[in-house]
Amino acid sequence: MIELIVSGNTEKLVHKHKDHQLKGKYKNLRELHVDRSYNDNWIMIYQIRNGQLNLHILDLLKTGDHDHLLK
């Protein structure tokens, strides 16, 4: 996954990991599904700023669907 992000292989990221830009107050972040075959709701949120990859380390505070987690 990281190699795909760094290389800019957006086609494969979208197809394999449902990579997309978030909306609303998270509009400057992107989300992808880490391992869709294991758990399609396991997501990673990341940001590319000024051409550099910034992974956001998140503490797991609660679980739920996308709408619940990204309020």
Residue range 1-70, CATH number: 3.30.2310.20
Q: Which residues contact 41 (CB under 8 A, 6 or more apart)?
A: 33, 65, 66
How do residues 12-65 score in pLDDT, each as one tens digit? 999 999 999 989 988 888 888 887 777 777 888 888 776 666 665 433 333 445
Rounded distance between C-alpha atoms, residue 49 and residue 17, angstroms: 20
Cα(36)–Cα(57) distance, rounded to whole angstroms? Answer: 20
Q: Tell me the whole-structure pTM to 2 decimals.
A: 0.68
